[in-house]
Structure 1
Amino acid sequence: MDLLTQGLLGASLAQTRAHAHEARLATGVGFLAGLIADADILIQSTNDPLLNIEFHRHFTHSLFFVPLGACIAAILLWPFVRKHMAFSRLYLFALLGYSLSGVLDALTSYGTHLLWPLSETRLAFNIISVIDPVFTLVLLIATAYAFKHRAARFAGFGLAIASLYLLLGWTQLQRAETEALALAQARGHDVERLLVKPTLANLLLWRSVYESNDRFYVDAIRVGLLSEPKIYPGESIEKFNLAQYSRQLPETSVLADDIARFTTFSDGFVALQQENHDLLVDIRYSSLPTSTAPLWAIAMDPALPQQHARFQVFRDIPKAVREQFLAMLWGHKLN
């Protein structure tokens, strides 16, 4: 999730084990330790554009890295707090702050190497958006009260409410998946793979992507808390055929390897953009839950197989797209 939420979760966890006299210092230690895992964003290479997306949420987010990550955080903070607490207490707060960084990210849709090195699989449970203001606000209020009153009970209460919110996300996911499968069945499609994930900053509007007969079908599903689900039919696109495309590439070429790496990163949900067949897009993400227009993709040049693909991010969101997203979010009928 975003850095603020990661830090607040770490701060809340550290507060639960702090004595009154060390509560505020523990808050800061937990907050900073909660950010350390995302230092992997600094792993970049000007020569290899895909290195960053491969290693973001990688080993630093693994459950097995937690003790070492906490140790790194404690060593970095020790010069600033050594006059105020023993190293054992500092490490405890750093361990608590760092402990759930990977787990929280795995609850989103991006994918996290939570079990590395035992498994290279990117786990994504899809029950909360990468940015969720409700979840963040709950942690912020609880952390602030615990900091002000030096009382661990406020942190514990906030964590309990946050956990219930995640349970709501899981429930909403099950409802959205049920609707997605029913929609595919109504179309006469055999679903080979299904991905349902929350759209940005809410648990009401979900993006459904399913594969059937070498095509991806993208739809939006609104599951209101007190209303019947609403379907917004979307676009479809042909699934990328790696074997067919790579016929024009040497098997050991840099570009062929980049295509394989991006396909793995995207969990196989890749397609060639309809307007540009040299742009390989990640179908899992779009600014609009009914669209196949990507948030990111790689640009390929088959004529230069020994050059790396270019990683591209599409951040421009036109006003019409924003308005359409909000209409679906509130359950309105589209024009």
Structure 2
Amino acid sequence: MDPLTQGVLGASLSQSVSKKQHLVIAGLFGLLAGMAPDLDVLIRSESDPLLFLEFHRQFTHSLFFIPIGSFLCAVFLHQLIGKRQGLTFKQSWLYSALGYGTHALLDACTSYGTQLLWPFTNERFAWNTISAIDPAYTLPILILLAFATLKRNSWFARFAILWAITYPTIGMIQRDRTIEAGWQLANERQHVPMRLEAKPSFANILVWKLIYETENHYHIDAVRVGRVVKLYPGESISKLDVSRDLPWLAANSQQTKDIERFRHFSNGYIAQDPADDLRIIDVRYSIVPNQLNALWSIKLSSSAAVDVHVGYETHRDSSPASRQAFLDMLFGVEQLAQKQSSVD
């Protein structure tokens, strides 16, 4: 989730249990500690572009790391501001722990993947209930947090926490409706999916990206889940087969190893870019949810030495056509949609 949302949610939980005289400082502790786990983005390597993918949302986001991470935050913040405001270290640690503890659970509500149970497993948990950026989620929390701070009333913070729980719950219902529509769509196509997932599109829980996997392909569609369900048929792509698609690539090369690292990060959803044979894309994410314009990829080199890493690339499809296609889906433009009242 974006840093602002992480911060205001952490501040809200800290304020919700705070006494009136400590409400502002509790919110500040929760705000800063709520953003702290994302300091893992500083773990980078110039020679290994994928290193940050391995460590982002890893140990700093583990539920088992909350006592350690919040303690480190408390040590720093107590010395910096806690003592001056009359807090005991126990209070500083409590407010830090509440803020820090919200971070990983909120990230797990998105579709990126969070290693909640590290070091016991490196499984990436993604509950796919809200987008990584969603103003409809963030703004009510921010407004209620502002009222709590200005009015010195923790009840506003408690209402913020109630909204923070309610919105992903609605997202879960929307996700499940999308999945139901996806199974019906696959059945109409006479496909038997090996797995099928629904992910919220950018900044909303109304339009969803539907991905299902068959033996040799990934199929990408969009679903608008409003009063009625509307399907936007999309594209399909062959699953990456390294020996078939990249026969020149040495099995013991670092690039081959990096493909497998990228495969793990992408939960297996990788394919060869139709526009570039040397680019491997993560098919899970795109601005227009029924298209394959990936937001990130790795880049291979046929002339690279055996110990050279792949490149990592990000892509921002912000063309007017893409924006319009997305907005058409968001507002349910009829000529682009195939209404499916039977799955409502």
Tell me, yes or no, if the aligned pair for 2:128 and 2:200 is still in contact at 8 Å.
Answer: yes
Supply the distance in 2 between the matched residues of 1:313 and 1:288 (Cα, whole angstroms): 16
RMSD: 1.2
The 3-state SS of whatever aligns with 2:223 is: strand
Confirm whether residue 6 of structure 1 aligns to residue 2 of structure 2. no
Matches within 5 A, 1:66-85: 66-79=66-79, 80-84=81-85, 85=87
For 2:245 and 2:328, locate their aligned partners in 1 and report how far apart those are by CA, in whole Å: 38
Residue by residue, what CA displacement relative to the aligned partner does 1:50-89 show, whole Å, maximum 9, x if unpaired? 0111211111000000011101111121222212211111
TM-score normalised over the length of structure 1: 0.97
SS at match of 1:109: coil
SS at match of 1:161: helix
Check conservation: 2:49, 2:309, Cα contact below 8 A.
Answer: yes
Percent same amino acid at aligned positions? Answer: 41
Instruction: Give 1:23's aligned residue.
Output: 23
SS in 1 for 2:277: strand
The SS at the match of 1:248 is: coil
In structure 2, stretches of 5+ residues that fail to align are: 337-344
Give per-residue Cα distances to partners, 1:252-302, cap 9 Å, x unaligned: 311111111001100100000112111000000011111111110001113
| Worse-superposed segment, 93-102 or 153-162 | 153-162
Q: Do structure 1's residue 310 and structure 2's residue 311 form an aligned pair?
A: yes
Contact persistence 1:246–1:256 (CA under 8 A): no
Instruction: Give the corresponding residue for 2:149.
Output: 147
Out of 93, 107, 110, the residue aligned to residue 108 of structure 1 is 110
> How far, CA to CA, are the matches of 2:261 and 2:73 in structure 1?
31
Tell me which moved more, 310-319 or 180-189.
310-319
Secondary structure at 2:278 match in 1: strand
Q: Corresponding residue for 1:208?
A: 210
User: Relative to structure 2, which stretch is displaced further, 301-310 or 67-76?
Assistant: 301-310
Partners of 1:159 and 1:83 lie apart in 2 by: 28
How many residue pairs were aligned? 333
Instruction: Tell me the SS of whatever aligns to 2:130.
Output: coil
Q: Which residue of 1 aligns with 2:341?
A: none
Does the CA contact (< 8 Å) of 1:176 and 1:196 recur in 2?
A: yes
Residues 207, 289 of structure 1: 8 Å contact kept: yes
- Distance in structure 2 (CA, Å) of the matches to 1:89 and 1:213: 55
TM-score, length-scaled by structure 2: 0.94
Q: Which runs of 5+ in 1 are unaligned?
A: none
Alignment of 1:151-230 (within 5 A): 151-224=153-226, 227-230=227-230
* C-alpha displacement of 1:107: 0.5
Q: For residues 11-67 of structure 1, what are the alpha-carbon distances to aligned partners after superposition, in whole Å with 9 as ceiling and x for unaligned?
A: 011011211111111010110000100000111111100011121111100000001
| Kept after mapping to 1: 8 A contact 2:200/2:207 | yes
- 1:248 offset after TM fit, Å? 3.2
Q: Does 1:35 align with 2:55?
A: no
Moved more, 147-156 or 231-240: 147-156
Deviation at 1:118, TM superposition (A): 1.1
Give the aligned partner of residue 320 of structure 1: 321
Give yes or no for contact 1:16–1:155 (8 Å, CA) kept in 2.
yes
Q: State the secondary structure of the residue aligned to 1:276.
A: coil
Is 1:269 matched up with 2:269? yes
**One-letter code aligned to 1:140:** L
Describe the SS at the equivalent of 2:84: coil
Which residue does the alignment assign to 1:333? 334
Could you give the per-residue CA deviations for residues 233-258 of structure 1, whole angstroms, max 9, x where no partner exists? Answer: 00110000134346533333111111
Range moving further from structure 2, 141-150 or 300-309: 300-309
